[in-house]
Amino acid sequence: MPPPREADGAAAPAMRRIFDWPYRAILAGVVALRLSPMQLTFLGLATNVVIGWLLVERHAFLAGLLLIPAGLFDVLDGAVARLRGTESRFGAFTDAVLDRVSDMILFGCTFWMLSGQGQELEAALALATLVISLTVSHIRAEAEAVGVSLSEGLFQRLERYLAMMIGLMVPAMLLPMLILLTALGGFTMLQRGWSALARVPAEV
């Protein structure tokens, strides 16, 4: 089985080293089960829907726990497609769109939970993180539409998942993690925006 795909985020190199063999074992199991990339993509979406419901019902710890399989589905769908040679534009498009839907569910329901508890600062930070994550993805999409590939960024989807796992599962850590998400997510948005402006031709 191939190792985890290289990524540019802050946590990616460490996670790649730590989870190399567990990742390969899980990938082998998924391949043995004959799950398709699209099935994995929709399993990830379904898991995020359950996470959203748990957040609305204020079961933060369980929601954070379910982010683990949700993150695995997010990684494995592309890995299975590459391993089987079935990568396609349709699959990449569907995966990207449903990733954004999952982000909206996660941070939108976190906002709902926090605002319902009267935690106005935390709720505002959750909403800011949602806007930032969508903007980071939109910058990449717009750049790729004019032929510029963008993958760099200090704080990407893996890092957002890890921060939310810690924030939801560890007592008193949600506010620090939301501050981190907003600050480093904002930096990533500016980083990717600057890179796009520097590399997109003046006339296309």
Q: Is residue 7 included in any domain, yes or no?
A: no
Tens of pLDDT, residue by residue over 158-182, are 889 999 999 999 999 999 999 999 9
Burial pattern 36-68, b for ≥16 Cβ within 10 A else e, equals: ebbebbebbbebbeebbebbeeebbeebbebbe
Q: What is the domain count for the chain?
A: 1
Tens of pLDDT, residue by residue over 64-121, are 999 999 998 988 888 888 888 888 888 889 998 999 999 999 999 999 999 999 999 9
Average pLDDT over residues 142-150: 82
Q: Is residue 185 included in any domain, yes or no?
A: yes
Question: Which position among 74, 77, 95, 99 bears the catalytic label?
Answer: 99
Q: Is residue 5 included in any domain, yes or no?
A: no
Q: Is residue 203 included in any domain, yes or no?
A: no
Q: Is residue 204 included in any domain, yes or no?
A: no
Q: Determine the Cα–Cα distance for residues 25 and 34; give it in Å rounded to an integer.
A: 14
CATH of the domain at 31: 1.20.120.1760
pLDDT at 17: 67
Q: Is residue 76 included in any domain, yes or no?
A: yes
Active site residue 20: no
pLDDT at 203: 47
pLDDT at 121: 97
Q: Is residue 105 included in any domain, yes or no?
A: yes
Which residues form the domain of 163? 12-198
* Tokens standing for residue 169: 């599962």
Q: Is residue 3 included in any domain, yes or no?
A: no
SS3 87: coil
Rounded (10°) CA dihedral 186, 189, 194, 195: 140
